[in-house]
Amino acid sequence: MDVEATQIEVGVGSSKEKLEPLLSKSEVSDEGEAVKADDQPPPLPYYPGFGFVSEPRPYRDIAATVIFVIFVLASVAWGIFCVVNHNEDCGLVDSAMYNSSSGLCYSYSGYSSDTARIEQLIEFRSISSWPRVSKFSRSKGFLSSLELGWTRALSQTRFEGSFSATSFVTVLVGTLVLTLVLSVPFIFGFLWLLKTFAKQLVYACLPFFILIPVFLNVFWFVACIMSSECQESFSLAGRIALFIFVFILCGIFAWIIYSNWDRVELTIKIMQTSAQALFSNWMLLLVLPSLSLLLLIYIAPFVVFLIYAYMNGEIVGTSGSYCQGEAATDCCSWSVDKWVPVYYILTIFTLLWSILLMTEAQVYVLSSTIAQWYFTVSGSKVTGSIRQALKHAFGPSFGTVTFSGLVVAFVRMIRAAVDSSQNAQGPQGCFIAMLRCCVNFALISIEFLNKFTINFAAITGENYCNSAKLAYDLLKRNLLSPVLVEVISTRLLGGMVFVLSVVYAVVVCAILRAGMNLGAIAYYVTALAWLLLFVIFLLFCQVLDNIIDTVYICYAIDKDSGAVSKLEVHDVYLMLPVSRDQPPALAVQQA
């Protein structure tokens, strides 16, 4: 018995010895394990139990807030000065005549029927010294000219039967208003379909991604054959070449869908997860447009200031200049004051910064709301998440949002400068082309990182620089696969909303053709209705894309901290491939 007990004890001891780590065996093992430990990415240094930070947050990036307020106050104060000191003679420049002898501009009240001489010349001083301006000169104002051009365009349009221009305007406005009203149930219906029947909806729309371009290709080819003008302007060889080229493109697109079919399956699940997150926080679909409406109200005074800034100047006479479409004629023109261009630069930059600031604020509110939903225990209801997100966005984190808007504003201006230089005439060397490619790549990288930075700041309340650093630390370990899935999800969503909006346009066109005697005008009304609904759907898709980004950041935070906040989300995101060449199924097997 003692021998057996000893053997058992020895066996247990040997098994225990095998299970123990080998850190204390030798210094070599210590160094090897130290090297392996160094190779491992360090965990995030912030917040034990990393997740959404709901406690009171300190104010971040105050300097950006101060600079933005200074820009806004300067634009408003200068704009008020423009309104107070504007010159009302700006509206009378078209009724002024240039006198070459005196070099001054004068007003006229009419012409003589015999000699075509001016009856009365009065020196141009102020609005009180002008005689009554003729009816012709009054109609040359901006609003009057716009109204006159619209009336002429409608009067020259041929309507079938007894249909009038006024009726056309009524039908157009009514159709657009009805489309805007119906877009609300369409959006919620599309969201419900994505949440419940995402796979069936994608499979139903995928064939139309090919069928619609094929139909349009056949339609224009047949229409060109039946039109003599098209045949004269477009040769038969060119038509056949374009017809075949479009079919080749459709075939390539079909092959891309087939070759990425496994990723399409994964993308469907990711879109369904984001739709579930948005459906649980459906009030975002009302809050985000409300913020856009507030932005329009905020912009309106600046537009008025810009209009009045142009009215700060005087009417000057110029001899032998190009005026009103006639070369080398004496004319009177409006000359703005020298400081007006400076005010335009200041105000336009402030408006651009404000628009991008509101865009980033919408992303912040959306990310904060979705993060609160994500880090809440499944089955529990989140209350006041949108209110808390708005409080953080326009409170402690307003400086971070402002900083992010400033970064995007600079990126947009640099990209506009690069595009304008590319469109400029003149020879461009290889070095300039390479430099332009490098700049575009840097701008795309900054925009991509900035997008996840504002998501991370909404979750943690960190300042902009720390959020960018921590977001990069998360993304560098899982960067490739989310980029690929995001591209596919954007394309799928865009294709689906295009198909749905085309179906709506077909219904509208059928109703207009059957119920009203519009003729060919029905196609123009249908095109505008389709464009309006398509733009609204695209804005909705942008919301879903931002939710996908936010959920991915939340999943990455869970992965780094070893937590599982939403099991259904982890079940989907664990299927993400590690590399571009690896199918999603392998990721599941490895997990």
Of 539, 533, 543, whose CA–CA distance to 502 is shortest?
A: 533
Query: CB neighbours (10 Å) of residue 222?
Result: 10
Q: Residue 20: left (phi > 0), alpha (psi -120 to 50), or beta?
A: beta
The mean pLDDT value for 438-460 works out to 84
**Which amino acid, residue 198?**
A
Q: Mind listing the pLDDT tens digit for each residue in 146-173? A: 444 444 444 444 444 445 666 778 888 8
pLDDT tier at 470 (50, 70, 90 boundaries)?
confident
Query: CB neighbours (10 Å) of residue 218?
Result: 13
Q: Are 254 and 210 in contact (CB under 8 A)?
A: yes
pLDDT tier at 480 (50, 70, 90 boundaries)?
very low
- Which residues are CB-contacts of 325 (< 8 A; sequence separation ≥ 6)? none
**Which residue is associated with the tokens 């609005």?**
127
* pLDDT at 109 (0 to 100): 42
The mean pLDDT value for 58-68 works out to 92
Give the three-state DSSP class for 299.
helix
Write the burial class of residue 136 (CB in 10 Å: 0-12 exposed, 13-18 middle, 19+ buried).
exposed
Q: Mind listing the pLDDT tens digit for each residue in 276-331? A: 889 988 899 999 999 999 999 999 999 999 999 988 888 776 655 555 555 445 67
Task: Give the residue with greater pLDDT, 399 vs 590.
Answer: 399
Q: Give 27's Cβ-side CA count (13 Å radius).
A: 0
CA end-to-end span of the chain: 47
pLDDT higher than 60, residue 29: no
Q: Give 498's Cβ-side CA count (13 Å radius).
A: 14
The mean pLDDT value for 543-560 works out to 86
* pLDDT at 173 (0 to 100): 87
Give the three-state DSSP class for 105.
strand
Q: Are 283 and 373 in contact (CB under 8 A)?
A: no
* pLDDT at 5 (0 to 100): 45
Q: Are 282 and 366 in contact (CB under 8 A)?
A: no
Query: CB neighbours (10 Å) of residue 215?
Result: 11
Helix locations, 424-479, DSSP H: 430-460, 464-475
- Helix 521-561 to helix 340-374 angle (10° resolution) is 60
**Residues in the chain, total:** 591
- Which residues are CB-contacts of 46 (< 8 A; sequence separation ≥ 6)? 460, 462, 470
104-107 and 122-123 beta bridge pairing: antiparallel
pLDDT tier at 471 (50, 70, 90 boundaries)?
confident
pLDDT tier at 177 (50, 70, 90 boundaries)?
very high
Mean model confidence pLDDT for the chain: 75
104-107 and 313-323 beta bridge pairing: unpaired
The mean pLDDT value for 451-466 works out to 88
- Which residues are CB-contacts of 129 (< 8 A; sequence separation ≥ 6)? 122, 123
pLDDT higher than 50, residue 467: yes
pLDDT tier at 346 (50, 70, 90 boundaries)?
very high
Least confident range of 83-97, 265-279, 288-302, 547-561: 83-97
